[in-house]
Amino acid sequence: MYFTSVTVLDGNLLHPILDKRHRQHIPRKIAAGSAPSAAPQLMSRNFYILAAMLLVFALLSAAISLMPSSLQPGLPANASLWRTGSLFLLLAGLAAALIGVLSHLFEQVDRRSEEARRKHRGEKH
3-state secondary structure labels for all residues of 33-85: CHHHHHHHHHHHHHHHHHHHHHHHHHHHHHHHHHCCHHHCCCCCCCHHHHHHH
Supply φ then ψ for residue 8, to 5 degrees.
Answer: -105, 125
Indicate the pTM of the whole model.
Answer: 0.59
List, for residues 19-63, the tens digit of each pLDDT value.
444 455 555 555 544 455 555 456 788 999 999 999 999 999 999
- Return the pLDDT at 18: 46
Half-sphere exposure of 72 (CA within 13 A, CB side): 14
Give the pLDDT confidence of 83-110 residue by residue, as tens digits: 999 999 999 999 999 999 999 898 888 8
Distance from C-alpha of 34 to C-alpha of 101, rounded to nearest angstrom: 22
CB 57 within 8 A of CB 89: yes
* More confidently predicted of 114 and 6: 114
